[in-house]
Structure 1
Amino acid sequence: MAVDRLLPTPEAEDLIALTSEIADKELAPRVDQHESEERYPEGLFAVLGRAGLLGLPYSEEYGGGGQPYEVYLQVLEELARRWAAVAVATSVHTLACHPLSAFGTEEQKQKWLPSMLAGEMIGGYSLSEPQAGSDAAALTCKAERTDTGYRITGTKAWITHGGRADFYALFARTAPGNHGISCFVAPGQADGLSFGRPERKMGLQAVPTTSAMWDGAVIDAERLVGEEGQGLQIAFSALDSGRLGIAACATGLAQAALDSAVGYANERTTFGRKIIDHQGLGFLLADMAAAVDSARATYLDAARRRDLGRPFSRQASVAKLVATDAAMKVTTDAVQVLGGYGYTRDFPVERYMREAKIMQIFEGTNQIQRLVISRGLAA
């Protein structure tokens, strides 16, 4: 089912068309096998990088696409319609580039950013810890000064692309208190850095999620981004944008589930009619379509506020909450539309349902989003 998009420029329309073409050619034929075998899509991110899809919202000066966020998010949605894990990893890579782009020195940007935005270096975001998920101020991983840089000691958790990434936006403690956390562009490999076994997840199985163990690994001083103690400011400045990325991925996943359900309902017949013509099922599909359209409109509203330089934190939380709850509901209803077939792995909707669940959890659980929204109302 084609999505009727309202794009701001002909260039944006061409970009979405290119994304759809690449997604149909490179993602759709591989997703079922790679997800079922939990096999990493070797070479795929290099393809996306060469197409310019891994640096879209960043400055053209450093090799980015210079695209508004509303266009970048619709690219993510198109990727997620074919392969949610790849879209999520793309969103995380974009998030990992933010600290350097927004807070790095000119020398740091010149050194690393072009390779990051070209997809020659794939990034991971290393903020969470086993006992510090949504409570980022509770981080315990330490970064201690040495003569040449920083010695990193501690454990990080829930790292998308963990063990595969070429760099990590790493947040570690350089001093006590909320103002004692700093940000680093950490290398993907180092003496004293190891990774745990990939998590055994319900979904998004083709891209690993791991823990990282920093056992006294030393990184160069030039890898500090911003000032010491600026880490939480850097982390929080990126999280609203990251939440919009997940909202777009969730919307693409929900659209894929709707497409599958509508396709099946137009082919399957009972009592002499296509099942879509039975009012009970037709109304269910209508509610699914309304949920997808509402999710898309919500994340685009927040993105347009961001592009205009207006506050969008509350709208980002609303978008993440609405889109991911919609994805969970729409994918569950898609299984219902397909009946017994929907419960089998012969059709993709059961995978969509499993993939949707994590959307309500990462980048801040939906309970955290409700907290952010309610605090905004009380201010």
Structure 2
Amino acid sequence: MKGSGDGRTEAAGGPARHVPVLLAEVCEALSAGRGGLYVDGTFGAGGYTRGILASHAGTSVIGIDRDPSAIRRGDMLVRQARGRVTLVEGRFGNLDELVSEWAPVDGVVLDIGVSSMQIDEAERGFSFRFDGPLDMRMEQAGRSAADLVNEATEAELADIIFHYGEERRSRAIARAIIEARRKSPLTTTKQLADLVAAHVWAEPGGAHPATRVFQALRIAVNDELGELVRALHAAEKVLKPGGRLAVVTFHSLEDRIVKQFFTARTGRTPTGSRHLPMMAVPEATFVAPAKGPIVPTDKEVAANPRARSAKLRYAVRSEVAPLPPLDSLDILAGLPDRSRSRGERR
């Protein structure tokens, strides 16, 4: 979850508390102590923004959030910061357009997922911890989770649940949803959670059986992976040479996208083999100072269990001009060809 992490095992139903994950590591990755202008692409409750501001008196932040509630809640921080914080409502996938009048910037941080505040509000429908409308829309507009659950085909639901939730019982759950909605629409979080719990075995002491399903629907409703792909390319456009991009993920699908983006943009794309001709490698638009992701310490995980699946990857912008978007990332962000995964679900 934004600023708090969700661990993906408690994301939809566990207690929510705003604790910025890997805060010190993010500020160090951004080199926020040098001062400058930074973009917090997932403002949420402002956890990273506050950390960046505290790093240097000459630092300022542009906070972006697609949730109008987050923008309203941030008004107090704007006043307290006295000109050092500017909030912009919009999707971080469009951050190059949203910050164009301030670009280039010294750093961009992205914290992927849902915020603890959204989880806490029953009326938002992100959590089965509370019984509320099956909504899950970050922007509070557009197609809701209830629309998706009650209108999508069985095959579409199975694909969403399997790919975005990595739920092996996706087919059984999709069939159950179809059967249930024939009698009456599924409109509340409790209805859906109870339905899933009846078809997924719960491990003793483990996550609620509906956790993966809620995660999958939320990702689909908000096009979270597509937004991530667009945000990575947008950040490449607005960062100045030496500027830094830091991304915190909580799920393997998210991390895979970030990893492949940095692999391609740092010139580490495979260049061929003895069986294939050498391929031209584009100039590197980023330099990666660290090998592999940065993960929370045992102490942080003990204090904030939701941090346990968090991974931070970062890189430094080079002087090479932005490159065309990577089509391979769009493929990762979308649903796979059903024919390739049909045999894996039951």
TM-score by length of 2: 0.29
Q: Answer 1 or 2: higher relative contact order, Cα 8 Å, separation at least 6.
A: 2
TM-score, normalising length: structure 1? 0.27
Higher helix proportion: 1
